[in-house]
């Protein structure tokens, strides 16, 4: 599914800035970085996961001959973390725990509004059987399972940019 996702994102990944929320192992962000992203931020609360991300960052940097100074790792609750610059990211990856997904989904889209550049994309991994209809967002693509409890990845963009139109 990750291969299909990055094929769908295509050249959007090149030179982009990303944030990987609920980063876990850092797989989404590290895949973007290895495919030409300029850099990004990983946000994860779990101590063991943070340690795993650090190791994975080091391994990817070494194997791909990349400088990991373009990456930031933040140990924080996603919804308490404050980005230094709003509207700074081209892509937001989010893979919240499935059990809490129905409760965090509205906050996740609000956070996407704050973090994304005006033409940015929110990439959400979610249970396939959970339907979302967030106000102000357009589902661009859906990958993976369409039914059941397995994973699905949904790519979202904002319908309109409102006051974000003044961004460069």
The β-bridge relationship of strands 39-44 and 17-21 is parallel
Domains of the chain (ranges; CATH) run: 2-162 (3.40.50.150)
> Could you tell me the two tokens for 91?
């892509």
CA separation (Å) from 40 to 19, 67, 134? 5, 12, 25
> Could you tell me the two tokens for 130?
């959970």
Q: What is the distance in angstroms between the CA of the first residue and the CA of the last residue of the chain?
A: 33
pTM of the model: 0.91
Note the pLDDT tens digit of each residue in 40-61. Answer: 999 999 999 999 999 999 999 9
Note the pLDDT tens digit of each residue in 67-80. Answer: 999 999 999 999 99
Q: DSSP labels for 136-166? A: TEEEEEEEE-SSSSSEEEEEEEES--GGGGG
Q: What is the pLDDT of residue 83?
A: 83
d(CA 93, CA 121): 9
């Amino acid at each position: 599914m990750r291969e299909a996702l990055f094929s769908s994102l295509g050249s959007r990944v090149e030179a982009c800035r990303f944030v990987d929320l609920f980063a876990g192992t850092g797989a989404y962000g590290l895949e973007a970085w290895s495919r030409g992203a300029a850099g990004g931020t990983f946000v994860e609360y779990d101590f063991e996961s943070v340690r795993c991300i650090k190791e994975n960052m080091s391994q990817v940097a070494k194997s791909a001959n990349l400088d990991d100074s373009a990456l930031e790792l933040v140990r924080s609750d996603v919804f308490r973390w404050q980005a230094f610059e709003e509207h700074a990211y081209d892509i937001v990856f989010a893979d919240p725990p499935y059990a809490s997904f129905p409760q965090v989904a509205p906050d996740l889209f609000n956070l996407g509004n704050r973090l994304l550049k005006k033409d940015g994309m929110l990439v959400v991994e979610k249970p396939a059987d959970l339907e979302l209809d967030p106000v102000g967002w357009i589902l661009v693509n859906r990958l993976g399972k369409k039914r059941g409890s397995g994973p699905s990845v949904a790519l979202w963009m904002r319908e309109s940019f409102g006051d974000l139109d003044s961004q460069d």
